Amino acid sequence: MSNVEAAGSAEEIRARVEKLLVGMTLAEKAGQLTQYFYFGGNESAGEWANEQSREVEVALGRGGAGSLLFVRDPAEVNRLQRLTMEGNRHGIPALFGFDVIHGFRTIFPVPLAMAASWDPPMVEQAQGVAAREARAVGIHWTFAPMVDIARDPRWGRIVEGAGEDPYLGAAMAAAQVRGFQGDHLGAPERVVAGPKHFAGYGAALGGRDYDEVNLSASEFWNVYLPPFRAAVEAGAGNVMTAYMDLDGVPATGNRWLLSEVLRGALGFDGFLVSDANAVRNLATHGFAADLTDAAVRAVKVGLDLEMAISDPAYAHLEEAVAAGSVDVEAVDACVRRVLEVKLRLGLFDQPYVDEERARSVLADPSHREVARVAARRSAVLLRNEGGLLPLSPARLGSVAVLGHLATSKRDILGPWSFEFDLEETVSILEAVQARLGPGTEVTHAPGVRPTERLFSSIFDSFPGNVPVVEEGFDDDAELARAVELAKGSDVAVVVLGEWQNLVGEQASRSSIDLPGRQLELLQAVVATGTPVVLLVMNGRPLDLRWAAEHVPAILDVWYPGTQGGTAVADLLFGDVAPGGKLPFSWPRSVGQVPVVYSHTTSHEPERQAERYWDEPSTPLYPFGFGLSYTSFAYSELVLDRSEVPAGESLVVSVKVTNTGERPGDEVVQLYVHQRHGSASRPVRELKGFRRLHLAAGEPRTVRFTLGPAELRYWSSAARDYVLDASTFDVWVGGDSTASLGTSFSTTGRGGAGSPTPG
């Protein structure tokens, strides 16, 4: 019997919700609308967590909490669920949520890396595995995918999303929702997906996490909204609101944003959760007068569930209703949505989890294989002078694997990893050693110490999250030792980047330099004359200007996850060729930030590369860029029609040929530019892509359809979506500078889609 049958039809669910609702007191309703963090009461948790856990258990025991987050152990889930079920007269189970961002026990590459795969089916499969593991331990819902467009790499949370582009972002958003949720909400072995943070969070001023956002309407609708629309259209059951002020109104209490845009224009009918403490924060922001006012304003805009660390604002709902500040109907509307999801997940009938089964699901070796493939497909080859890569094991007498990140198992997993198993995590050094065997000497030195943060982060208390600097680490001597090893080796593989705690939430930076003395190490190793392969481990673009000129081979491996080491060895030694492409324009330096490929033409476009006098204003590597161990040629770009009436489509076809001697993957990308219209349009916008695997010499014809969904845009002149009669340029190629192009025109107007409030 499927879960849908277990849960009942939509009508039956509605009837059960209404029946429950009539019997509930206001306090019980407020409890259903409250979600608490639960870190567990144990010795290692610390005094604050212990105290908070006791409070949460008291709340559960009297029906004062409808949902918990951060519980990850199946036995704990069962114990707390029992408390919940017994603590309320109605037997309403708790909903367990957690940040399953890029894996649960099996850690996949960070989301930015997975976006670099340009491979939605692979991403869907990976998040399907993540869902399976999470659901097995009793987690019902993930606070993912993060679909915030990020155009400023100073913002640490760029690592959690799909980069700068709305089209790629939308494809990744939909793939992840499908992976997490399956084909319907309540599907077995899946979890509810909660795209976040609605909306605009990635545009934080100066890249400073949580700072305010001031977006133009055109950027909001055309750039920041499409991934949310795609996630909602893919069926996401939940959406999380953002922390910051959007145009002066906090996102979590923003009626226009939540009612008109999310529920209205996007048609979202699932349940909404606030970010942690974001309802309380309506008062902190200087928006709500106090916690009661915060609760009232949040409920009035349909914010169903308050995520609270402690002292929730929704605890004041009873007094607010009594005072007439909010109608009970508004509260009921929120409770309905929360009860409905619990029913649709079948939790009333099956609130507990099978602990034995959880163990076997987490141990499933096929999950690790999916992680290995994901890591291989995410890597981006940025440079390969003289075909240094792939390395030939037979010809290598000795390899120096340098850098602390080559051995750090915690760092290779990236931020937002909690339930990982370090035993089954493979470091780059281990994988290189295993691949080469005893015939090749593999040496290692860290070279530099991990960089310490100036300020702490909320994640510091999780085990292993803060790298330990070895006692007595002698910086100069260690650097010299690494250089010596490079000198005596046939090749040096240098692993540099950012320690995982330097990127993520509360991990914004004012620079994008390689932290610490890493550049110095790299320069000294290159100066030995030994050929150098630079592996970049990162969750944001870093300043690689020097490397881009002096290091022959650069492979961006990101934070590749549990099987990251193995996948990197697969790539280094040519078992597979890298085929990932950049999901952002890679800036030369922090001074260029933000730099995006989809800017408008503006004044003197012929001098676009010269907007600064001290540095080219083009990026170091363009959006969509990535090399392979083979090469590809594009030809025969053909349109099936040159005039397209408004509302109709055309088909673009192109021939792609693998012109090299090895098999490889290419991501075929299609860009358009609308020459004139009711607003200026970007010089290029991605409107189609396909990742192909081609054997040596193999040609393939690829077809793309361009229709109203691709040709419409939100015009600030019309304050609506429009389809202009215009001429469009179209290019197809392997990155955003593709030169093979043609053009077509559109005639007539209208048919742009649903009207939207401006």
Query: Closest by alpha carbon to 302, among 250, 238, 249, 259?
Result: 259
DSSP labels, 175-244: HHHHHHHTTSTT-TT--EE--B-BTTGGG-GGG-TT--B---HHHIIIIISHHHHHHHHTT-SEEEB-SS
Please report, in angstroms and rounded to a whole number, the separation of the first and last CA atoms in the chain. Answer: 46
Q: Which is nearer to ligand NOJ, 35 or 84 (CB)?
A: 35
Are β-strands 441-445 and 271-273 bridged in parallel, bridged antiparallel, or unpaired?
Answer: unpaired
What tokens does 34 get? 């409250």
Q: Which is nearer to ligand NOJ, 285 or 449 (CB)?
A: 285
Kindly tell me which residue out of 505, 556, 665, 720 binds ligand NOJ, with binding defined by CB under 6 A: 505
Report the residue closest to ligand NOJ, judged by CB. 143
Q: Which string of x and - marks every residue 198-237 that binds ligand NOJ (by CB under 6 A)?
A: ----------------------------------------
Residue 666 interacts with ligand NOJ (CB under 6 A): yes or no: no
- The least distance separating ligand NOJ from the CB of residue 155, rounded to whole angstroms, comes to 12
What's the sign of the alpha-carbon dihedral 580, 583, 585, 586? negative
Please report, as a single letter, which amino acid is at residue 709: A
CA distance 511 to 742: 40
Q: Do residues 158 and 106 make contact, with C-beta atoms less than 8 angstroms apart?
A: no
Q: Which is nearer to ligand NOJ, 417 or 598 (CB)?
A: 417
Q: 686-707 b/e with 16+ CB inside 10 Å = b?
A: bbbbbbbebeeeeebebebebe
- The least distance separating ligand NOJ from the CB of residue 209, rounded to whole angstroms, comes to 9
Q: Which is nearer to ligand NOJ, 219 or 505 (CB)?
A: 505
User: How would you write 398-457 as a 3-class SS string?
Assistant: EEEEECHHHCCHHHHHCCCCCCCCHHHCCCHHHHHHHHHCCCCEEEEECCCCCCCCCCCC
CA distance 448 to 208: 27
Q: Which is nearer to ligand NOJ, 314 or 629 (CB)?
A: 314
CA distance 335 to 242: 21
Contacts of 725 (CB under 8 A, 6+ apart): 646, 745, 746, 747, 748, 749
Query: How is residue 697 annotated by DSSP?
Result: T
- The least distance separating ligand NOJ from the CB of residue 182, rounded to whole angstroms, comes to 21
CA distance 21 to 36: 22
Kindly tell me which residue out of 119, 165, 275, 735 binds ligand NOJ, with binding defined by CB under 6 A: 275
Count of residues interacting with ligand NOJ (CB under 6 A):
6
Residue 306 interacts with ligand NOJ (CB under 6 A): yes or no: no
Q: Which is nearer to ligand NOJ, 196 or 691 (CB)?
A: 196
Q: Do residues 227 and 166 make contact, with C-beta atoms less than 8 angstroms apart?
A: yes
What tokens does 739 get? 């030169």
- The least distance separating ligand NOJ from the CB of residue 210, rounded to whole angstroms, comes to 9
Are β-strands 192-193 and 34-37 bridged in parallel, bridged antiparallel, or unpaired?
Answer: unpaired
- The least distance separating ligand NOJ from the CB of residue 65, rounded to whole angstroms, comes to 16
**Residue 733 vs residues 176, 500, 657, 688, 739: alpha-carbon distances, Å:** 26, 33, 11, 11, 7
What tokens does 525 get? 């190793």
Residue 28 interacts with ligand NOJ (CB under 6 A): yes or no: no
Q: Which is nearer to ligand NOJ, 143 or 268 (CB)?
A: 143
Beta strand spans in 110-199 (E): 141-142, 192-193
Choose the catalytic residue: 152, 209, 275, 570.
275
Please report, as a single letter, which amino acid is at residue 302: G
- The least distance separating ligand NOJ from the CB of residue 458, rounded to whole angstroms, comes to 8
Contacts of 324 (CB under 8 A, 6+ apart): none
- The least distance separating ligand NOJ from the CB of residue 643, rounded to whole angstroms, comes to 46
Residue 570 interacts with ligand NOJ (CB under 6 A): yes or no: no
Q: Which is nearer to ligand NOJ, 143 or 704 (CB)?
A: 143
What tokens does 129 get? 């595995």
Q: Which is nearer to ligand NOJ, 135 or 197 (CB)?
A: 197
Kindly tell me which residue out of 72, 135, 196, 681 binds ligand NOJ, with binding defined by CB under 6 A: 196
Q: Which is nearer to ligand NOJ, 307 or 371 (CB)?
A: 307
- The least distance separating ligand NOJ from the CB of residue 213, rounded to whole angstroms, comes to 14
In what helix (H) or strand (E) does residue 475 lie, and over which residues does it extend?
A: helix 475-487
Q: Which is nearer to ligand NOJ, 70 or 256 (CB)?
A: 70
Residue 143 interacts with ligand NOJ (CB under 6 A): yes or no: yes
- The least distance separating ligand NOJ from the CB of residue 407, rounded to whole angstroms, comes to 29
Q: Do residues 583 and 227 make contact, with C-beta atoms less than 8 angstroms apart?
A: no
Q: Which is nearer to ligand NOJ, 244 or 722 (CB)?
A: 244
Residues forming a β-bridge with 666: 692
Residue 735 interacts with ligand NOJ (CB under 6 A): yes or no: no
CA distance 547 to 586: 13
Residue 140 interacts with ligand NOJ (CB under 6 A): yes or no: no
CA distance 369 to 245: 42
- The least distance separating ligand NOJ from the CB of residue 337, rounded to whole angstroms, comes to 19
Residue 275 appears among annotated catalytic residues? yes
Cα atoms in the 13 Å half-sphere on the side-chain side of 610: 6
CA 462 to chain centre: 21
- The least distance separating ligand NOJ from the CB of residue 121, rounded to whole angstroms, comes to 26
Residue 148 interacts with ligand NOJ (CB under 6 A): yes or no: no
Residue 293 interacts with ligand NOJ (CB under 6 A): yes or no: no
Angle CA 729–735–739, to nearest 5 = 45
- The least distance separating ligand NOJ from the CB of residue 440, rounded to whole angstroms, comes to 44
In what helix (H) or strand (E) does residue 114 lie, and over which residues does it extend?
A: helix 111-116
Angle CA 28–30–35, to nearest 5 = 110
- Residue 44 burial by Cβ neighbours in a 10 Å radius (0-12, 13-18, 19+): exposed
Residue 139 interacts with ligand NOJ (CB under 6 A): yes or no: no
Phi, psi for residue 637 in degrees, rounded to 5 = -80, 115
Rg for the chain (alpha carbons), in Å? 26
Residue 558 interacts with ligand NOJ (CB under 6 A): yes or no: no
- The least distance separating ligand NOJ from the CB of residue 505, rounded to whole angstroms, comes to 6
Q: Which is nearer to ligand NOJ, 143 or 597 (CB)?
A: 143
Please give the residues from 61 up to 120 whose contact with ligand NOJ meets the rule CB under 6 A: 99
Kindly tell me which residue out of 56, 168, 276, 590 binds ligand NOJ, with binding defined by CB under 6 A: 276
- Positions that interact with ligand NOJ (CB under 6 A): 99, 143, 196, 275-276, 505
Residues known to be catalytic: 275
